[in-house]
Structures are given as structure tokens and as C-alpha cells.
Amino acid sequence: MDGASKGEGIAGCGGVLRGDSGECICGFSKGLGAYSAYVAELWGVFEDLKFALSHGFLTVELHVDSQVVVNTISFAKGGLPIRWTLIQNIRRFLELD
């Protein structure tokens, strides 16, 4: 899973689902519009979890390359509306809320 942005410009995210042995099962990419890299990373986590669930995966191991995003998902108590909505939706997927 990853998210990226060109400054505060065009952003996107994508991910790959792998099996127990590391084999590639399927992947996705999605254009997001104008977001920061941080918000693109949050979108990436959300879309990856949603994608995995839609393909029948109930247990996933998620690799996130941003410790800030991991900390935000784990500990944030609020924030700007788009970010906070994403965080709450991610937590619902992870059953942290």
C-alpha cells in the first residue's frame, strides 16, 4: 500500500494483495485529486483495507511506510474533516474504534 502526491497537487494511492507465500494475487491504483502526501497515505490505507475486504480477505497484514500515518491511525483524537473521516473509517475496518 502506498499513497503519493506531487506537492499539494495530484495524488494517488495503490496496493497489492499477496498470499501467504508472498505471491501477488491482485492490485489496485486510484487517482485521488488534489491532496497532500499525508492524506494520500491515509487514503491508501483506507482503500487497501476496503479492497482486501471486497475480495474476501478478513485477515490482512498492512505495510505502511509512514510512521506519522501509523501514529495518526492509532492515537489521533480529531483533525480536519477529511482526515478525521478517513481515520474513523480506517479504525472501523481495523476495529480500533
**Residues 69 and 50: beta-carbon distance below 8 Å:** no
> What confidence category does residue 97 fall into, taking pLDDT thresholds of 50, 70 and 90?
very low
pTM confidence score: 0.88
What's the confidence (pLDDT) of residue 42?
Answer: 95
Secondary-structure class of domain 2-94 per CATH = alpha beta
Fill in the DSSP letter of residue 49: H
Q: Which long-range contacts (CB under 8 A, 24 or more apart) does 50-56 make?
A: 50/93, 51/15, 51/17, 52/17, 53/93, 55/17, 55/25, 55/26
Longest Cα–Cα distance in the chain: 39
Residue 26 has pLDDT above 80, yes or no: yes
